[in-house]
Structure 1
Amino acid sequence: ARAGLEPDSALERRLPGLRRLGARPYGILGDSHGRHLIRRGQRHGTWLAPLAHLASSASARGLGRADGRSGTGPKVAAALERLLAIDDLPILMKFGQVDIEFVQVFKRLAAGEDRFSPEAFDAFADETIALYVAFLAGVVPAAQRSRVRVLSLFPPALSDDSWREGYLNAHMVAVHGPPDTGDLTARLGRLDIPNLAQRTALHAAFNERLQAAVEVEGFRWGDDFSPWLGGDGLLDPAWLGPAAGRDHHLDLPAARWRALDWLWPILE
Structure 2
Amino acid sequence: MGNARNGRVWMGWLAVLVMATLAAPCLAAPEGGTGGGSFWGTIMAGAGWVGFLIMAVSVAGVALVIYNYMNVSQPKLVPEALLVEVNNLFEEEQYEEALQLCAANESFLAKVIASGLNSMGGGYDAMVSSMNDANVEQTVKQQHLIAWLNLTSAIAPMLGLFGTVHGMIIAFGIIKTQSAPKPSDLALGIEQALITTWLGLIVAIPMVCFYFVFRNRVERISILVGNTVGELTGRFRPQAS
Give the alignment's TM-score, normalised by structure 1.
Answer: 0.24
Structure (1 or 2) with the larger CA radius of gyration: 2
Q: Which has the higher strand share?
A: 1
The higher-RCO structure (CA 8 Å, 6+ apart) is: 2
TM-score computed with the length of structure 2 as normaliser: 0.26
Higher helix share: 2
